[in-house]
Amino acid sequence: MVEERLKFVVPGDDPPQIQGSPHLDRLKPYGDLDLYLDRPQSMAEQLKRVEGAHVILNTRGAVKWFAPALQALPDLRLIATCSIGVDSYDIEAARACGVAITNQPGRTAAVVAEHIIGLMFATAKRTAFQTGELKAGRWTLKQNVTLSGKTLGVVGTGNVGREVVRVAKLLGMRCLAWTFNPSPQRAQDLGVEFVEFDELLRESDVVSLHVRLSDESQNLMGAREFELMKPGALFINAGRGGLVDTPALIDALHSEHLAGAGLDVFDQEPLPPDHPILACEQVVLTPHLADQTPEGIELLNEGAVSNTIAFLEGRPQNIVT
């Protein structure tokens, strides 16, 4: 048990995630919590909220922590993410400032994979388009896509990609995979064939992205890559918006080279009302909430608090810095 009373801050729980969580009570023996329900509107407000904080619990990357902010917080020891990704943080700057960052790899993989499979079905069955037509008073018959027996190309075989492969195989789909670090053992464990990226694009009826966003993966899918995909193929992205050259995706949809896309992430979030992806006919869109079910939120809140307590008690886990 730590003797010093610590200051915990949730700098912006927007959209609501951790407010009211019973897991926050587990922090009471260690210190006091300041919880803000809205996002700070400026860097000055952001820093004011966390002044003197020892631990920041950050929900869904609502507040970003890069070098200037980290350098202004001499008391900060830990940022515990209530999420999986860490692209809202400057990892090198945090390391230089002596700030640990914890995340929760794989914790909601099954929840996210279920959403991805749902996007794939909704895109294949054109549910958004058909619903829109019926609401407009039109009885439009446009053929759907059968998934059983088709080839799914899984780009990235981490925790989520693995679960998507497992479920897709149960649906009768053949699975190809690509990753930055393939190995025969990983292929055997997953029961998939690793192929070159271009081959995956050419052979897949559905391509789904699961790699993390990095300098290496930025704009992984561009005009060339979409052109390599089969005419009539489907594209799914619940990874990060920065993995995709959005204008190239929009061109592929408008030209009908792609039959549709299911997206949970975007190059701009929140998605502005005039974003050109909204003018595409065959898209299914959700607002970056693949893990936002009651079960998923509970897993993430519990994980963030458990990571925090483990760190304070000298047994750090899931440290990314």
- Active-site annotation holder among 23, 60, 107, 288: 288
Predicted local confidence at residue 85, as pLDDT: 84
pLDDT in tens, 87-127: 889 999 999 999 999 999 999 999 999 999 999 999 999 99
Q: Supply the range of the domain harboring residue 98.
A: 6-105+294-312
Q: Is 115 in the active site?
A: no
pTM of the model: 0.91
| Number of domains the chain is built from | 2
Predicted local confidence at residue 1, as pLDDT: 44
Q: Is 240 in the active site?
A: yes
Q: Is 23 in the active site?
A: no
In a domain, 67, yes or no: yes
Q: Within this chain, do residues 83 and 142 fall inside the same structural domain, yes or no?
A: no
Q: Within this chain, do residues 10 and 116 fall inside the same structural domain, yes or no?
A: no
Which residues, in sequence order, are CB contacts of 236 under 8 Å at separation 6+? 116, 119, 120, 123, 206, 207, 208, 209, 261, 262, 263
Q: Within this chain, do residues 121 and 26 fall inside the same structural domain, yes or no?
A: no
Which residues of the chain fall short of a pLDDT of 50?
1-2
Distances (CA, A) of 251 to 128, 222, 268, 280: 19, 10, 18, 9
DSSP string, 251-275: HHHHTTSEEEEEES--SSSSPPTT-
In a domain, 48, yes or no: yes
Predicted local confidence at residue 3, as pLDDT: 64
> Which runs of E-coded beta strand occur in the chain?
6-10, 31-35, 55-58, 78-81, 100-102, 151-155, 174-178, 193-194, 206-209, 233-237, 258-263, 283-285
DSSP state of 241: G
- Active-site annotation holder among 60, 107, 115, 240: 240
Q: CATH no. for residue 76?
A: 3.40.50.720
Q: Within this chain, do residues 235 and 197 fall inside the same structural domain, yes or no?
A: yes
Predicted local confidence at residue 147, as pLDDT: 98
In a domain, 28, yes or no: yes
- Active-site annotation holder among 51, 92, 256, 269: 269
Neighbours of 173 (CB within 10 A): 20
